[in-house]
Amino acid sequence: MEISWTKEMSSGSHSSKDLPTAILLNILSRLPAKSLFRFQCVSKIFYKLVNDPSLAAMHLQHTDMIEEPPLVMVHSRSASKYSRLMLFRGWKYNGDSWTATSYDDSFSSGILSIETKYELEFASGGLLCFKDSSLSRGPALLCNPLRGEALELPPSNVNSLSRLNEWYGIGVDATTSTYKIVNIVFGIDPSRSSSYLTQVHVLGTSSWRRIPAVPPCGLSKQNAFAYGNTYWLIGQCILCFDFNEERFIWTSHPNLPSKRVLNLLNLRGSLAIVDATSVSVTEVEVWVLKSHDKKEWVKDYNIKLNVGPSYCYEWWPLNCFILVDDSRSRKSIVGVLHYNLGWGSRKRLRCGNGRVEVNSVPKIFSYTGSLISLKTYGNLLVEGSEAAQGIGTLLSGKAT
Amino acid sequence: MSRVFKLKSSDNETFEVEEAAALLSETIKSSSSTEITVPNVKAEILGKVVEWCNKHAESEDTKDQLIKEWDAEFVSVDQHVLFKLITAADYLQIKELVDQLTQRVGDMIKAKTLKTVEMTYPTFNVEREVQEELKSLGF
């Protein structure tokens, strides 16, 4: 495909009209975020294009087509001041062998320290959300590690004393093309009864807006971002928060027998469930919601993996990351196993010394970069401020 | 009785297109007349676009494997033909064709290194931009 372009251009045989910006953005939205970041440095035109606000949203729509393996993160909180966020690099198959790729040179394999009060709530749409799980229940943080940006969400309207539990989710309102965050709070109201309260924040505005819709039951830590909405796995059922209509809807789910170990995630753009209930040998089934409108779930994979007790899974075509329980004596330890489904081989991923002591149930996330520029939505966290220090190492990308 | 649309290229060649194929274009759909002139698009390119529309009007199910293979071959053309096709499809507002063509450009970019892209991608004429910058600085 080597064509000498400059000759074509000067001979005038090529129509001299440049391609319209919308088309250029359409093309760029199909490229991996990492490459787009590099393109920024080529010329002013490229810089303007890469930072065009509509590019981030278009790019999000095409994430499922981009074959860049995700960064896998494991977060668990500890009793000490700092908890660990372990990052594992993705793996790439070049037709011959598997090689570890680092997603971005400064934000790759390593262990980052995050202040324990922050719990990683979701890693969706290219953004990480840390909620403050301490008693003070401060504002949540939204972070785009690829850009090194973090934003503090506005303080909640709900009095922190009455909040018992809360959840966050991110979504895209297609009608207004805006990003929204939903916050569901479970707490005690003035009349001493417990209830749910839902508030929505549109990125770029300065407050939360209470909405009448409330979830029919408590949510879970298992959330996934797909089709522009956030889904929670509650037992066997899936609850969706629709960001266009701002209400909760039950979504169809594959009919699985009860008491299964399930993980909800986004597999190549579609909602998927990994069923990893094991007796002696783990037989893993991956169900994918093939058609959102027809509500059809199809079993895409059925694989036997020989692995002991495990917590949860992250799945990417041909790659499976398993968070396993490696507990020895009285210490709770987790490790991450990577299965190459193409090769049929498995490998224990190294991160620091590979094993991290945990005090709470760890969670595994897969993260794909996004171009969303948080500075267009508000004042970024200033280096040195208390909140920034809490997740400071995540922004600077320095691994310990 | 379906209507027949006439598409005229910039070098004055006319293509007759059946209603089903023609209505894949939003521009044609919202046009009041059945005769549309497509400026800046030569016959060779317009002909290919008409061919795509005809193929896609025939088959209802775009997810069909045969259509996918046909589409893949359709977009495997030289860069300059590809860009001309994009301009035409964009003018005629044929969303699916634009998406297929831009995906092809994206795939081609991914297959090359950054340096090659900067030198072969015509719209991003870095050399010219650098020269203009230098001029404005007084060099």
Question: Does B125 sit within 8 Å of A31, measured CB to CB?
Answer: no
Which value, to the nearest 10 degrees, does the dihedral of the CA atoms of residues A371, A377, A383, A388 take? -90
Q: Is A35 on the interface with B (CB under 8 A)?
A: yes
Inform me whether the pLDDT recorded for A396 exceeds 70. no
SS3 labels along A256-273: CCCCCCEEEEEECCEEEE
pLDDT at B49: 92
State both tokens at A289. 């919601």
User: Is A225 within 8 Å of A233 (Cβ atoms)?
Assistant: no
Question: Does B79 sit within 8 Å of A19, measured CB to CB?
Answer: no
pLDDT at A145: 74
Give the closest residue to A182 by CA, choosing from A199, A206, A160.
A199
Over residues A382-388, mean pLDDT:
68
Over residues B130-135, mean pLDDT:
74
Residue A200 — pLDDT band, cuts 50, 70, 90?
very high
How far does the CA of residue A22 sit from the closest CA of chain B (Å)? Answer: 10
Q: Which of A130-144, A221-235, B112-126 bottoms out in mean pLDDT, i.e. has the lowest?
A: B112-126
pLDDT digits (tens, 9 = 90+) for B40-71: 888 999 999 999 998 888 776 656 778 888 88
How far does the CA of residue A250 sit from the closest CA of chain B (Å)? Answer: 29
Q: What angle do CA A235, A238, A240 make, to 5 degrees?
A: 140
CB burial of B62-82 (b: ≥16 within 10 Å; e: otherwise) equals: eeeeebeeebeebbeeebbeb
Inform me whether the pLDDT recorded for A103 exceeds 70. no
d(CA A117, CA A135): 9
Residue A317 — pLDDT band, cuts 50, 70, 90?
low
Inform me whether the pLDDT recorded for A79 exceeds 90. no
Q: Residues 36-55, chain A: which have Cβ within 8 Å of B?
A: 38-39, 42-46
d(CA A367, CA A71): 5
Over residues A296-318, mean pLDDT:
71
State both tokens at A170. 């991110």
Question: Does A20 sit within 8 Å of B40, measured CB to CB?
Answer: no
Inform me whether the pLDDT recorded for A196 exceeds 50. yes
pLDDT at B47: 92
Over residues B28-45, mean pLDDT:
87
Contacts of A43 (CB under 8 A, 6+ apart): B118, B124, B126, B129, B130
pLDDT at B127: 65
Over residues A87-113, mean pLDDT:
49
Of A9, A27, A35, nearest to B102 by CB-CB distance is A27
Question: Does B98 sit within 8 Å of A45, measured CB to CB?
Answer: no
The average confidence (pLDDT) of chain A is: 73
How far does the CA of residue A50 sit from the closest CA of chain B (Å)? Answer: 13
d(CA A237, CA A37): 39
Residue A107 — pLDDT band, cuts 50, 70, 90?
very low
pLDDT digits (tens, 9 = 90+) for A10-27: 333 333 356 788 888 888
Which value, to the nearest 10 degrees, does the dihedral of the CA atoms of residues B103, B106, B111, B113 take? 180
Give the closest residue to A28 by CA, choosing from A1, A63, A55.
A55
d(CA A215, CA A165): 13
Question: Does A3 sit within 8 Å of B120, measured CB to CB?
Answer: yes
d(CA A80, CA B35): 75
Question: Does A65 sit within 8 Å of B129, measured CB to CB?
Answer: no
Q: Is A17 on the interface with B (CB under 8 A)?
A: yes
Q: Which of A63-72, A148-157, A164-173, A296-305 bottoms out in mean pLDDT, i.e. has the lowest?
A: A63-72
Which chain B residues are closer than 8 Å to A31 by Cβ?
106, 109-110
d(CA A149, CA A388): 10
The average confidence (pLDDT) of chain B is: 81
How far does the CA of residue B6 sit from the closest CA of chain A (Å)? Answer: 23
Query: Which one of A15, A28, A46 would you mutate to disrupt binding with B, by most B Cβ within 10 Å of its Cβ?
Result: A15
Can you list the positions of beta strands (E) in chain B? 4-8, 14-18, 35-37
Q: Is A14 on the interface with B (CB under 8 A)?
A: yes
Instruction: Name the 3-class secondary structure at B84.
Output: helix
State both tokens at B4. 């027949």
Which chain B residues are closer than 8 Å to A28 by Cβ?
106
pLDDT at A167: 92
CA atoms within 13 A on the CB side of A57: 14
Q: Is A208 left (phi over 0), alpha (psi -120 to 50) or beta?
A: beta
Q: Is A19 on the interface with B (CB under 8 A)?
A: yes
Q: Which of A145-149, A179-183, B32-36 bottoms out in mean pLDDT, i.e. has the lowest?
A: A145-149
Which chain A residues are closer than 8 Å to B102 by Cβ?
23, 26-27, 30
Inform me whether the pLDDT recorded for A388 exceeds 80. no
Which chain A residues are closer than 8 Å to B109 by Cβ?
27, 31
Q: Is B124 on the interface with A (CB under 8 A)?
A: yes
Question: Does B80 sit within 8 Å of A8, measured CB to CB?
Answer: yes
DSSP letter (8 states) at residue A161: G
Question: Does A39 sit within 8 Å of B129, measured CB to CB?
Answer: no
> How many C-beta atoms surround the C-beta of residue A149 within 10 A?
19
d(CA B98, CA B104): 10
State both tokens at A375. 């500075």
Question: Does B123 sit within 8 Å of A38, measured CB to CB?
Answer: no
Q: What angle do CA B125, B87, B75 make, to 5 degrees?
A: 95
Task: Count how many pairs of residues, chain A against chain B, have C-beta atoms within 8 Å.
Answer: 77
Question: Does B40 sit within 8 Å of A23, measured CB to CB?
Answer: no
Q: Which of A74-88, A139-153, A246-260, B112-126 bottoms out in mean pLDDT, i.e. has the lowest?
A: B112-126
pLDDT at A9: 35
Burial class (CB in 10 A: 0-12, 13-18, 19+), A318: middle
